[in-house]
C-alpha cells in the first residue's frame, strides 16, 4: 500500500477481519504513516461485508503461508467476484482454483510486494476494464459455485458410491478398454449428432479466424474417424496436421475419410502410456469432445504435456454439471481451473446451441499472453456479454418448447398404454413428470431396485435387461434419449427383428414386447 500511495495518494484500503496478526499490522501501518488511508474494521457480519463490497472498486486477498501453515480456499474470493469486483490474490493454497487469472483478476506470488503493487497500480489506472473483469468473475462464480450445481455433483457422488450397477461391469472402469471396444463396434463417425457437429465445426473455425490464430503445425488428440482432421486440412491447406488415436479401427477409418489430403499423418497413441506426445513446435493442440472422456488427473497431465510442445491448446467439451448421472465414460471438468493450475491463460466461448439441454464450450489456452490470446480474450468478453443479454429470452423460449413437447409425449403414451398397464420408459430420468402416469407402472431403464441408474455399458447388457423385463407391455424411447437407438445398434437391431414398432415420431419410439 505504501508503494501504491506514492502514485495514487487518494486510495483508501479497508481491511475487514480479525486475528492474532492485527496488532502487528496496525504497528506497521503506523510506522509507514498510512493511518489516513488504511482502516481496520475488525470482524463484521455478512450484511456489513456486502456493504463494503458494494462500495469498493477492487478486492485484494494477499494470503501467505506462515511456518508452513496454509489456509484453504475460503469464500471471500468468490464473494468478491460475485459482487462484480476485479480481484488480486496470491498463488496461495487453493486460491488459484477460485478465480480466473487475467480474466476476473490477477494472481501474484506470495510475499511479492513489487508484483502486488504493480497489479494494483495497473487496475487503478485502467478502470475501463473493471466491468469486464467483474462480469467474468460473476459468471465464473455462478457457473462453478451455484448451490444447485454443487448439490447435483454431491448427489451424483453419493449415487456412484451407493448404487451397485447390474450386469457384467467391473468394479473399476477401464477407459482404454472401453474406447478400443467402441472402435471395433463403431469404427466410423456416429451420425447421431451430425447437424450439431456441423454447427460445432462452423463455430470452431469462425473463432479461429476471428482470433487470427496461427495454424501451420497442428496436433489433434483423439482424432477418431477424422471428422475434425479433414476439416483442419481443408481450412488450413498449408498446415501440417498430426492425428493421434488409440483405436486401430478408427485410425483406418480416419485414413479413408481423409484420403487425398497430403498434409495429414496419423499415429496410434495411448494417452495412459509413458510415451511422450509425438512432435513439437505445434501452433495448436486440438481435442474435440476428448477430455470429457478421461478423468481429471489424465486431462491435467495432457494439458501439461501439450503446453510443452504447443503454443495453444483448444478443446470443446461440456463443462457444466449434467442434470442426470453421467455414464462411466464421461467426466465433467472445470477446464478454466485445469488450465489455471497448469499456468495457462484461457479464453472460453459458449457454443450457440445446446445439445440435449446441455451447454458445450470452446476453450483456447496458452502459457504466453500472445497477440492471439489478447484478441481471443477480448472476443470472449464480447461474446459473453452478448450471451448474457440473450440468455433470459432464450431460456424462456426453450422452457416453453420443452413443456409443450413433454405434454404431447405424455398424452401419446397414455393413449398407447392402457390404464393399469406396464411399460419401460427410456428417458435418462429427465422428464420429472412421473405423477402424470399414476395409473400405470413405469419401469426406468436401466433400473436398480426400481430406480434409474444410467445407460448400459454395452448392447449385451441392454438386451439382457430387456429380456429380464419382458413382462412389461412395451418399451418406449422418449426424447431426448432417442440417441440410444443410434448408439446401441445391437439393441436397436434386436428390437426391430423381434418386436413390432407401435409408434415412431420426433418425440417417441415405442415397441410392443408382446411378440
Q: What is the pLDDT of residues 64-111, one digit of tens each?
A: 887 767 777 778 999 999 999 999 999 888 888 888 887 889 999 988
Q: Is residue 88 part of a domain?
A: yes
- Position 399 pLDDT exceeds 70: no
Tens digits of residue pLDDT in 331-345: 888 898 899 888 888
* 362 occurs within a structural domain: yes
Q: How many residues does the chain have?
A: 515
Residues 329, 193 share a domain: yes
Interacting residues of 177 by C-beta distance below 8 A, sequence separation 6+: none
Rounded-to-integer distance, Cα 360 and Cα 363, Å: 10
Asked if the structure places residue 390 within a domain, the reply is: no
Task: Kindly list the distances between the CA atom of residue 452 and the CA atoms of 165, 198, 433, 442, 466, in Å, as whole numbers in the listed order.
Answer: 10, 32, 14, 11, 14
Q: How many independent structural domains does the chain possess?
A: 3
Alpha helices by DSSP H, listed for 167-294, are 175-185, 194-210, 227-235, 248-257
pLDDT of residue 236: 95
CA atoms within 13 A on the CB side of 431: 24
| 500 and 459 inside one domain | yes
Last residue of a domain, one of 313, 348, 368: 368
Parallel, antiparallel or unpaired: strands 264-268 and 240-245: parallel
User: Region 415-441: what's the mean pLDDT?
Assistant: 83
364 and 405 fall within a common domain: no
Q: Smallest Cα–Cα separation from 231: which of 203, 267, 210?
A: 203
For 412-442, b/e burial (b = at least 16 CB within 10 A) is: bbeebbeeebebbbbbbbbbeeeebbeebeb
Assess if residue 382 is contained within a domain.
no
Task: Tell whether 364 and 248 lie within a shared domain.
Answer: yes
Give the best-scoring range by mean pLDDT among 286-295, 336-345, 439-448. 286-295
Q: Name the more confident of 110 and 323.
A: 110
Question: What is the chain's alpha carbon radius of gyration, rounded to the nearest angstrom?
Answer: 27
Asked whether residue 302 is domain-assigned, the answer is yes
pLDDT average, residue stretch 16-42: 91
Higher confidence at residue 320 or residue 411? Answer: 411
Would 469 be classed as within a structural domain?
Answer: yes
Mark whether 349 and 404 lie in a shared domain.
no
Whether 197 and 333 share a structural domain: yes
Cα–Cα dist 353/349, whole Å: 12
pLDDT at 354 over 70: no
- Cα separation, 85 vs 255, in Å, equals 51
Q: Give the domain-ending residue among 141, 175, 208.
A: 141
SS3 sequence of 366-434: ECCCCHHHHHHHHHHHHHHHHHHHHHHHHHHHHHHHHHHHHHHHHHHHHHHCCCCCEEEEECCCCCCCH
Which among 368, 384, 409 is the end of a domain?
368
What pLDDT shows up at residue 190?
54
Q: Yes or no: say if 502 and 512 are a contact pair by the CB < 8 Å rule.
A: yes
Determine the distance from the C-alpha atom of residue 52 to the mean position of all C-alpha atoms in its chain, rounded to a whole number. Answer: 33
43 with 17: CB under 8 angstroms?
yes
Q: What is the pLDDT, as a whole number, of residue 346?
A: 87
User: Is the domain of 103 the same as that of 236?
Assistant: no
pLDDT in tens, 169-208: 333 578 888 888 888 877 665 555 677 888 889 989 988 8
Strand order in the sheet with 59-61: 59-61, 87-90, 105-108
Q: Give ∠ CA 410-415-421 in degrees, rounded to 5.
A: 95
**Nearest C-alpha neighbor of 291 from the set 253, 256, 342:** 342
- Residue 177 in domain: no
CATH code of the domain in which 210 resides: 3.40.50.150
Cα–Cα distance measured from residue 108 to residue 161, given in angstroms and rounded to the nearest whole number: 39
Query: What domain range is 78 assigned to?
Result: 2-141
pTM over 0.75: no
Per-residue pLDDT tens over the stretch 294-304: 998 899 999 99
pLDDT digits (tens, 9 = 90+) for 118-176: 999 999 999 888 988 888 888 888 777 877 667 656 665 565 454 443 333 333 578 88
CATH of the domain at 22: 3.40.50.2000
Name 41's Cβ contacts closer than 8 Å, sequence gap at least 6.
14, 15, 16, 48, 52
Same domain, residue pair 340 and 432: no
What does residue 410 show for φ and ψ, rounded to 5 degrees? -60, -45
Q: What is the mean pLDDT of residues 495-502?
A: 93
202 and 105 share one domain: no
Question: Is 419 part of a structural domain of the chain?
Answer: yes
Residue 247 near residue 183 (C-beta atoms within 8 A): yes
Q: What crossing angle do the helices spanning 130-145 and 147-162 adopt, rounded to 10°?
A: 30
Q: Are 373 and 366 in contact (CB under 8 A)?
A: yes
Q: Same structural domain for residues 408 and 345?
A: no
Same domain? For 206 and 338 the reply is: yes
CA–CA dist 408, 427 (Å, integer): 15
364, 456: one domain: no
pLDDT-wise least confident of 24-28, 181-185, 451-455: 451-455
Q: For residues 217 and 280, give the distance between their C-alpha atoms in angstroms, rounded to a whole number.
A: 9
Amino acid at each position: 500500500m505504501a508503494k501504491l500511495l506514492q502514485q495514487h495518494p487518494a486510495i483508501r484500503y479497508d481491511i475487514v477481519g480479525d486475528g492474532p496478526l492485527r496488532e502487528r499490522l496496525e504497528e506497521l501501518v503506523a510506522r509507514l504513516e498510512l493511518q489516513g488511508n488504511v482502516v481496520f474494521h475488525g470482524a463484521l457480519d455478512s450484511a456489513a461485508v456486502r456493504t463494503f463490497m458494494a462500495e469498493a472498486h477492487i478486492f485484494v486477498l494477499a494470503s501467505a503461508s506462515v511456518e508452513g501453515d496454509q489456509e484453504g480456499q475460503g469464500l471471500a474470493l468468490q464473494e468478491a467476484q460475485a459482487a462484480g469486483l476485479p480481484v488480486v490474490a496470491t498463488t496461495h493454497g487453493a486460491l488459484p482454483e477460485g478465480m480466473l487469472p487475467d480474466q476476473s483478476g490477477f494472481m501474484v506470488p506470495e510475499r511479492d510486494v513489487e508484483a502486488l503493487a504493480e497489479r494494483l497500480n495497473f487496475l487503478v489506472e485502467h478502470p475501463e476494464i473493471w466491468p469486464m473483469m467483474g462480469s467474468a468473475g460473476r459468471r465464473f462464480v455462478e457457473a462453478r459455485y451455484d448451490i444447485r450445481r454443487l448439490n447435483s455433483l454431491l448427489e451424483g457422488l453419493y449415487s456412484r458410491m451407493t448404487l451397485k450397477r447390474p450386469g457384467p461391469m467391473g468394479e473399476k472402469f477401464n477407459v482404454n478398454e472401453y474406447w478400443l471396444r467402441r472402435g471395433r463396434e463403431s469404427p466410423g463417425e456416429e451420425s447421431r449428432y451430425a447437424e450439431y457437429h456441423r454447427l460445432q465445426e462452423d463455430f470452431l473455425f469462425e473463432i479461429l479466424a476471428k482470433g487470427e490464430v496461427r495454424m501451420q503445425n497442428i496436433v489433434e488428440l483423439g482424432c477418431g474417424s477424422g471428422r475434425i482432421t479433414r476439416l483442419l486440412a481443408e481450412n488450413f491447406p498449408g498446415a501440417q496436421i498430426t492425428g493421434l488415436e488409440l483405436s486401430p479401427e478408427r485410425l483406418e477409418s480416419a485414413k479413408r475419410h481423409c484420403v487425398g489430403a497430403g498434409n495429414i499423418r496419423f499415429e496410434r497413441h495411448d494417452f495412459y502410456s509413458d510415451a511422450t506426445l509425438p512432435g513439437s513446435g505445434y501452433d495448436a493442440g486440438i481435442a474435440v469432445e476428448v477430455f470429457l472422456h478421461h478423468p481429471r488427473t489424465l486431462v491435467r497431465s495432457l494439458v501439461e504435456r501439450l503446453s510443452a510442445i504447443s503454443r495453444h491448446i483448444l478443446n470443446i467439451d461440456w463443462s457444466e454439471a449434467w442434470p442426470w448421472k453421467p455414464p462411466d465414460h464421461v467426466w465433467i471438468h472445470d477446464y478454466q481451473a485445469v488450465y489455471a493450475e497448469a499456468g495457462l491463460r484461457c479464453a472460453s466461448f459458449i457454443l450457440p446451441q445446446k445439445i440435449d439441454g446441455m451447454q458445450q464450450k470452446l476453450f483456447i489456452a496458452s502459457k504466453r499472453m500472445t497477440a492471439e490470446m489478447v484478441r481471443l480474450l477480448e472476443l470472449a468478453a464480447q461474446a459473453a456479454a452478448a450471451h448474457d443479454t440473450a440468455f433470459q429470452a432464450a431460456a424462456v423460449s426453450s422452457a416453453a418448447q420443452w413443456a409443450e413437447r413433454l405434454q404431447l409425449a405424455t398424452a401419446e403414451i397414455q393413449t398407447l398404454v392402457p390404464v393399469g398397464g406396464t411399460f419401460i420408459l427410456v428417458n435418462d430420468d429427465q422428464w420429472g413428470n412421473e405423477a402424470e402416469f399414476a395409473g400405470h407402472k413405469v419401469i426406468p431403464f436401466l433400473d436398480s431396485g426400481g430406480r434409474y441408474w444410467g445407460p448400459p455399458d454395452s448392447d449385451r447388457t441392454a438386451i439382457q435387461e430387456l429380456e429380464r423385463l419382458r413382462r412389461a407391455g412395451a418399451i418406449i424411447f422418449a426424447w431426448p434419449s432417442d440417441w440410444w437407438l443410434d448408439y446401441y445398434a445391437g439393441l436397436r437391431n434386436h428390437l426391430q427383428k423381434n418386436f413390432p414398432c407401435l409408434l415412431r415420431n420426433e418425440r417417441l419410439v415405442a415397441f410392443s414386447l408382446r411378440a
